[in-house]
């Protein structure tokens, strides 16, 4: 742990937005002020850091935001920050404001940038896992996942009503990039007959056989939940295969898309974000630097940023066994 005392900190949101980011910002700002720190908000992630779009924040600047989705600091992905020139400009802007600690709320790409930046300029960084994908190692939960998966569940429940009315097969595509957690959780929670995720190789012949067998049993209402990043992550492409192999199937496709990122964060996401934001500032104060604040077994857990970037959460095969048994 480093011994230098942090006096001014910056907080930013980077990469994809997720419900609960505002709660995390609020926690960082108010915990920092409580401990006598000056706190600055960095607009639009690393882009704002390079362009010196940095504003002072006080307790009132984060009033009435805990219930809001999105992020009041805006977010962006920055190609310029991947260059030495971009990071140098960012460092000069931090020096101008006297900022000597950063809290980055984002995903693995954001943490990779923070790790590189800290190694080059010795700026202590703390990462908070803000992503609906839940694809970061070192934490059981990420800010935004609970809200996103509940949004998906609510939408799929409504889709089931029209499935039942028309005896249809629905293929619902959910977000998750290259992780299948939203598909897995929402699929199990809504009784999906099949769940297609990147972590498990999909046997298309077995899937077709399963649907054919269900059709013979006059089980005409079927739901397939597909994670966007899998081998068959394109719901329309999967629909085309099914129609070719089972011409009698009455199929429909629904792509939920960015609706899963928006909306007021759930109670769980507000609590998680508030908890993590508090411990991010505490970490900077005691000299615990370049870690991601996570939750493992309901306790705060710290993972080195480089490890959080290199590793991914893994989905156990027992989950897929449960899906197969419960959907039979």
User: Which tokens belong to 138?
Assistant: 């070192």
In the annotation, is 161 catalytic?
no
Cα distances (angstroms) measured from residue 127 to each of 108, 194, 277, 280: 9, 35, 10, 8
User: Sheet containing 125-129: which strands, arranged edge to edge?
Assistant: 54-57, 38-42, 8-13, 101-106, 125-129, 291-296, 299-304
CA distances to 205, 248, 264 from 183, in Å: 20, 26, 21
d(CA 292, CA 310): 13
3-state secondary structure of 70: coil
Distance of alpha carbon 3 from alpha carbon 148, whole angstroms: 39
- Parallel/antiparallel/unpaired status of strands 38-42 and 8-13: parallel
**Cα–Cα–Cα angle for 285, 290, 293, nearest 5°?**
75
* The one catalytic residue among 133, 135, 146, 269: 133
User: What is the three-class DSSP state of 66?
Assistant: coil
So which residues are the catalytic ones? 133
């Amino acid at each position: 742990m480093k011994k230098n005392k942090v006096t001014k900190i910056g907080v930013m949101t980077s990469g994809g937005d997720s419900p609960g980011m505002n709660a995390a910002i609020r926690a960082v700002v108010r915990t920092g002020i409580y401990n006598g720190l000056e706190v600055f908000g960095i607009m639009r992630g690393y882009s704002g850091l390079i362009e010196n779009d940095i504003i002072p924040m006080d307790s009132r600047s984060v009033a009435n935001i805990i219930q809001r989705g999105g992020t009041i600091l805006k977010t962006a992905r920055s190609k310029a920050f991947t260059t030495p020139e971009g990071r140098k400009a960012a460092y000069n802007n931090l020096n101008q404001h006297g900022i000597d600690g950063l809290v980055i709320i984002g995903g693995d790409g954001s943490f990779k940038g923070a790790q590189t930046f800290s190694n080059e300029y010795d700026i202590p960084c703390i990462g908070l896992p803000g992503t609906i994908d839940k694809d970061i190692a070192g934490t059981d939960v990420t800010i935004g996942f609970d809200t996103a998966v509940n949004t998906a569940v609510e939408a799929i429940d409504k889709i089931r009503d029209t499935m039942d009315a028309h005896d249809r097969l629905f293929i619902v595509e959910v977000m998750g990039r290259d992780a299948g957690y939203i598909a897995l959780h929402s699929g199990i929670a809504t009784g999906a007959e099949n769940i297609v995720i990147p972590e498990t190789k999909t046997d298309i012949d077995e899937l077709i056989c399963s649907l054919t067998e269900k059709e013979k049993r006059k089980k005409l209402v079927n739901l397939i939940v597909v994670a966007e990043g899998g081998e068959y992550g394109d719901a329309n492409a999967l629909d085309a295969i099914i129609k070719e192999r089972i011409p009698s199937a009455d199929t429909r496709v629904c792509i939920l898309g960015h609706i899963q990122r928006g909306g007021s964060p759930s109670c769980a996401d507000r609590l998680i974000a508030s908890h993590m934001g508090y411990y991010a500032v505490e970490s900077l104060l005691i000299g615990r630097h370049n870690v991601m604040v996570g939750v493992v077994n309901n306790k705060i857990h710290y993972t080195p940023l480089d490890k959080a970037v290199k590793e991914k959460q893994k989905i156990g095969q027992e989950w897929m066994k449960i899906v197969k048994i419960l959907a039979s």
